[in-house]
Amino acid sequence: MKEVIAIIRRQNIHMTKTALDGLGFVSMSIISVSGRGKQKGFIGEVDPAMAEILPDAGETDPIARFIPKRMLMLVTEDEYVAEIVETIMRVNRTGYLGDGKIFVCPIEDAVRIRTGERGVKALR
């Protein structure tokens, strides 16, 4: 089993969820996050009402901001990871900085609390 974590632009979450739903991957968690990559944030991408100036040591440039994003997480069987990653990339790739990141992490076990099912059975 693997966990796929995608950090994407907030305006793309509905399209991403719809694309994954269409492939049969309906179980996922989505949370609001803020952060920045190497570019240190671009004001054009930041809603000024939600932006925060980062308190980096010696950094007084107001262009450096946290950017609101969405983090999508889902756990799946190994054989579906490539399809999920390709779908997320297809929906979210613009070719510009800030398109996001995808992380694939191993999952040791999963347990459905209600039934006690473990492993892949807990995912279905």
- Among positive and negative, which fits the CA dihedral 108, 115, 72, 86? positive
Q: Are 28 and 86 in contact (CB under 8 A)?
A: no
What are the angstrom distances between the C-alpha of 8 and each of 15, 83, 101? Answer: 11, 17, 7
Q: Are 54 and 32 in contact (CB under 8 A)?
A: no
Question: Order of strands, edge to edge, in the sheet holding 29-35?
Answer: 29-35, 67-76, 2-9, 101-106
Q: Domain spanning 2-35+72-122: which CATH class is it, in words? A: alpha beta
pLDDT value at position 120? 92
Q: Are 2 and 119 in contact (CB under 8 A)?
A: no
Q: What are phi and psi of 6, to 5 degrees?
A: -125, 130
Indicate the pTM of the whole model.
0.80
pLDDT digits (tens, 9 = 90+) for 74-123: 999 999 999 999 999 999 999 888 899 999 999 999 999 999 999 999 98
pLDDT digits (tens, 9 = 90+) for 10-54: 999 999 999 999 999 999 999 999 888 776 665 555 544 444 444
pLDDT value at position 63? 52
Domain boundaries, the chain: 2-35+72-122
